Structure 1
Amino acid sequence: MVGESRKWVILLASIWVQAFTGTNFDFSSYSSELKSVLNITQLQLNYLSVASDMGKAFGWCSGVSLMYLPLWVVMFMAAFMGLFGFGFQWLVIHRLITLPYVVVFLLCLIAGCSICWFNTICYVLCIKHFPANRSLALSLSISFNGVSAALYTLIANAINSNDATLYLLLNAIVPVLISGLVLIPILNQPQPQPHSVDTIQRDTSVFLCLNILAFVTGLYLLFLYSFSYTTAIARVILIGAIFLLVLLFFLPGIVYSREWSCFTVPTSFSFYSSRFTRAVPDDDELYKELISIKEDSTRNRSAQSTREKKCCIVNMLEREKFSMLGEEHSAKLLVRRWDFWLYYLAYFCGGTIGLVYSNNLGQISQSLGHSSQTSSLVTLYSACSFFGRLLAASPDFLSRFPS
């Protein structure tokens, strides 16, 4: 049971990492100040936002690093890349140092690369400790990357709502602090263990409860942010958000204890009920006949289900040349598959365009005369991104809980 509890701590540690390292979402909160200090055009500002997103193109470096370095070392490398990239931008925007545009472009690139490195670390943790429920673990962890901007906005408002450059300082420092916070559970990872069917079903129930609590957290950030008019109110709302994130750590234990209490009652009942005897001899024949019919029916359904699964597996092997879902594939095989290019096209036309829009929220609100509402727009976009990522797990839950 120790390993079971520790794997949930690992998942929740990855959730915290995702929740406080999605620093690319708040670019529009300080983009106007950056444009003014650097004295650049809108086109040049767009290039800086592209550089921040283009850092993901070097995300493969994190995977290579994990082949030769411990996971915690790679995590702190990502944290210090963000500290370096965002920290120097904060110095530039406060006019403490002067850097040319090209150097600022490289700083944005490094900062964007750190985000992708954190994502890789969370992917590895989820896949390693939840092989049977990897899709549920990944969707839950990744979804919290969308609330980063809302959390950073609350933190900034709780400190000084009039200082937009504070976002850069938070982007530099907070990921380092979170990395130190989750260091102990990452250093004490449990060894992956084979899971029974009961364990997988129990884990699915825990994931359902975690998703419900995550949904409540998103609603909390979305609706209560509008009440953070003053620093005092923003601090109270921030404490509530932190409480909901901490509550995630206790939820698996609550679900497990509830299931154990429900499990012990039927066990005791069956023990005492087995002491009763059937007084009528004819009941024995009827009882045996019913049991025989039930066993035959169960055996037939099991055989039919096995044949259907074999046919599906054979068809998949013949058509896709895969031996199992989640199998690693070479780059050469990947680029020859049409579904890879379909995903690439969908992401290019969907997610990439969405990033361009989010990065220019500051300029859009300023051009419409609502520059004071930029943080509200960023929070709204962040919350919608969170809900979209969270709902991505719906097909998995529907398949595991048939009607």
Structure 2
Amino acid sequence: MASKTLQWLSLVGIIWLQSVNGTNSNFPAYSSQLKQLLSMSQVQLNNLAFASDAGKLFGFFSGIASLYLPLWVVLLIGSTLGLAGYGLQYLFITNQISSLSYAHIFLLTVLAGNSICWINTVCYVVTIQNFPSDRQVAVGLTTSYQGLSAKIYTVLVDSFTFSPVRRAKAYLLLSSLSPLLVSVVAAPLVRDVNVGTSTNMKVGFVVMFLITIATGVYAVVSSLGSVSSRLPPLCNAIGILVFLLAPLAIPMAEKMKEKLLNGEMKVYIEENVGDHVERIESGVKVEDDHTREGEVGAKEEIGVMLMLKRVNFWLYFFVYLSGATLGLVYLNNLGQIAESRGCSGTSSLVSLSSSFGFFGRLMPSLLDFFLSKSRYKISRPACIGVLMAPMAGAFFLLLDTANISLYISTAIIGVCTGAITSISVSTTTELFGTKNFSVNHNVVVANIPIGSFLFGYSAALLYHREGNEDGKCMGMECYRNTFILWGSLCLFGTFLALVLHARLRKSHSHT
């Protein structure tokens, strides 16, 4: 049985990986500069945003690989794909290579988008295996850091460069190198730990939540215009890095505790427990397995082919499509939306959406941790429905011309999109089990590139129709019809989520 130190170290490694794995969320911060550098139209730029999401269409390869290859190999494959996808683009825009066409850039962006799936798969599999009794808590806590990726990259870029052209290059360089470097560091930590008996980890999670919340508060406060203008960029970057290193305090404390108590515990076990140790461990393990089997949806393990035949899968698929995916499409287009409204603070908007997305991803874990024994619990599809309602309102609020409405709507969409993304991991296991999770969930998130293409392309066409001769559009009319369409789709998704909740409640009442 592995020590709790290794268990917590695996969680810290996953936090670091997730912190740099949201490379596609950086796109809005440099999309306008990339559009100018490559002389692209809005439709072509939108196609690149879609290409990043299109990599998820091939995400099931990472799920299959995780079943047959060591997890560290899967991790390094993913980071290498990202190095190739973003690295070759960086070499192109810095004139190191000159033979890339738009089609090549598109395919490289697909490759870079696919790399995220490989790293995510490793993170999810390790978290579920190493924290079976606190699955939702651990998954939500770690994925919240992916919502912070755009903030981290923006802070790092601001520390070293200010020129718009140099910013685009810096984002591509960081996106290519950071996941690989962190993967090499985290590979020894991120592995399946033989947890053995179920132990009380409440204190550790409370401390981890405090660190995580403090990190999020710092990210939000430092994103505010009045604060960010006064705070030196380098100091901001150092602050973020210190908060990312802070979770190491938990495994370090566990290691010290183990060293202090190891001798006393060994003597106690030998003198007082003796031959009963194995029986006690077996009893605890049986109890833990029984608890996990008793969880909703964990009674039945469903393979991908059977999953595709279930009505619940398609309801869930379209709920995700009109909820989290729609939010991601909005965030991908945030740079162009801000530009069309005459708002110059694109970087602060991206940092704001990233910071609130961070809290959104963390929120389900907090609720699950502190309300796990509460009698008043609702299903995860119902939670998704509750989150999609304010998202719909945020899209309609964007019809207001005031910049404050843009900031409020971005914050709401960031929070709700992050929360739905976090809940979706546990929803997949609730509906289809844990055995085939790595493949099943990658099939579920294949809706992201589909939605990115449908919603993003329609938004680009409406933008182009309202634009002038050079394809540039300025004014509220650029995205007015798009926001009405997106808000309506989000309302429809809310209805589907409630239908899925009703179906699950009915099926559970018959079992």
Please indicate the TM-score interval, normalised by the length of the shorter structure. Answer: 0.7 to 0.9
SS at match of 1:184: coil
TM-score, length-scaled by structure 2 = 0.62
SS at match of 1:329: coil
* Residue type at the aligned position of 2:178: V
| Matching residue of 1:221 | 219
Q: CA deviation at 1:21?
A: 1.3
Q: Is 1:374–2:346 an aligned residue pair?
A: yes
| Matching residue of 1:386 | 358
Correspondence 1:5-16 to 2 at 5 A:
5-16=5-16
CA distance in 2, matches of 1:400, 1:249: 26
Residues 350-369 of structure 1, C-alpha deviations (whole Å, 9 max, x = no match): 11111111111111222233
TM-score, length-scaled by structure 1 = 0.77
| Matching residue of 1:182 | 186
Larger-gyration structure (1/2): 1
Q: Is the 8 A contact 1:25 1:149 kept in 2?
A: yes
Q: CA deviation at 1:183?
A: 2.5
CA distance in 1, matches of 2:8, 2:14: 10
Cα distance 1:368–1:60, how it changes in 2: closer, same or farther (>3 A)? same
| Matching residue of 1:164 | 167
Cα distance 1:217–1:401, how it changes in 2: closer, same or farther (>3 A)? farther
* Residue type at the aligned position of 2:302: H
CA distance in 2, matches of 1:229, 1:63: 43
Q: Is the 8 A contact 1:133 1:204 kept in 2?
A: no
| Matching residue of 1:211 | 209
Q: Is the 8 A contact 1:28 1:362 kept in 2?
A: yes
| Matching residue of 2:27 | 27
* Residue type at the aligned position of 1:40: M
Q: CA deviation at 1:339?
A: 3.1
CA distance in 2, matches of 1:259, 1:222: 36
Q: CA deviation at 1:73?
A: 1.4
Q: CA deviation at 1:251?
A: 3.0
| Matching residue of 2:101 | 100
Residues 286-341 of structure 1, C-alpha deviations (whole Å, 9 max, x = no match): xxxxxxxxxxxxxxxxxxxx9xx99x96xx9xxx9x6x35x642123322333322
| Matching residue of 1:286 | none
CA distance in 2, matches of 1:328, 1:140: 25
| Matching residue of 1:76 | 76
SS at match of 1:57: helix
Structure 1 regions of 5+ residues with no counterpart?
A: 262-305
Q: Is the 8 A contact 2:143 2:361 kept in 1?
A: yes
Q: Is the 8 A contact 2:140 2:361 kept in 1?
A: yes
Q: 1:192 aligns with which of 195, 213, 217?
A: 195
SS at match of 1:185: coil
Q: CA deviation at 1:260?
A: 12
* Residue type at the aligned position of 1:223: V
* Residue type at the aligned position of 2:180: V
| Matching residue of 1:358 | 331
Q: Is 1:340–2:318 an aligned residue pair?
A: no
CA distance in 2, matches of 1:247, 1:258: 18
| Matching residue of 1:117 | 118
Q: Is the 8 A contact 2:11 2:190 kept in 1?
A: no
Residues 123-157 of structure 1, C-alpha deviations (whole Å, 9 max, x = no match): 11101111111111111111110000000011111
Q: 2:177 aligns with which of 160, 173, 190?
A: 173
CA distance in 1, matches of 2:88, 2:72: 24
* Residue type at the aligned position of 2:364: A
Correspondence 1:150-299 to 2 at 5 A:
150-162=151-163, 163-165=166-168, 166-186=170-190, 190-195=193-198, 199=199, 202-226=200-224, 227-229=227-229, 233-251=232-250, 254=253
RMSD of aligned alpha carbons: 2.9
* Residue type at the aligned position of 1:216: A
Q: Is the 8 A contact 2:137 2:366 kept in 1?
A: no
Q: CA deviation at 1:98?
A: 3.9
CA distance in 2, matches of 1:399, 1:145: 24
SS at match of 1:132: helix
Q: Is the 8 A contact 1:33 1:93 kept in 2?
A: no
Q: CA deviation at 1:161?
A: 2.8
CA distance in 2, matches of 1:393, 1:336: 30
CA distance in 1, matches of 2:202, 2:312: 28
Q: Is the 8 A contact 1:22 1:149 kept in 2?
A: yes
CA distance in 2, matches of 1:68, 1:255: 32
Cα distance 1:220–1:24, how it changes in 2: closer, same or farther (>3 A)? same
Q: CA deviation at 1:253?
A: 5.2
Q: CA deviation at 1:391?
A: 0.5
SS at match of 2:201: helix
CA distance in 2, matches of 1:398, 1:229: 37
Residues 159-206 of structure 1, C-alpha deviations (whole Å, 9 max, x = no match): 11333211111000111110121123247x6423132xxx1xx21332
* Residue type at the aligned position of 2:183: S
CA distance in 2, matches of 1:347, 1:194: 35
| Matching residue of 2:452 | none
Q: Is the 8 A contact 2:6 2:251 kept in 1?
A: no
CA distance in 2, matches of 1:346, 1:255: 41
Q: CA deviation at 1:75?
A: 0.9
Identity of aligned residues (%): 38
| Matching residue of 1:44 | 44
Q: 1:330 aligns with which of 303, 307, 310?
A: 303
SS at match of 1:356: helix
Q: CA deviation at 1:255?
A: 7.9
Q: In terms of mean alpha carbon deviation, does 332-341 or 105-114 score higher?
A: 332-341
Q: Is the 8 A contact 1:225 1:237 kept in 2?
A: no
Q: In terms of mean alpha carbon deviation, does 79-88 or 60-69 score higher?
A: 60-69
Q: CA deviation at 1:81?
A: 0.7
CA distance in 2, matches of 1:220, 1:123: 26
Q: Is the 8 A contact 1:54 1:112 kept in 2?
A: yes
Cα distance 1:222–1:149, how it changes in 2: closer, same or farther (>3 A)? same
Q: In terms of mean alpha carbon deviation, does 216-225 or 87-96 score higher?
A: 87-96
CA distance in 2, matches of 1:61, 1:211: 33
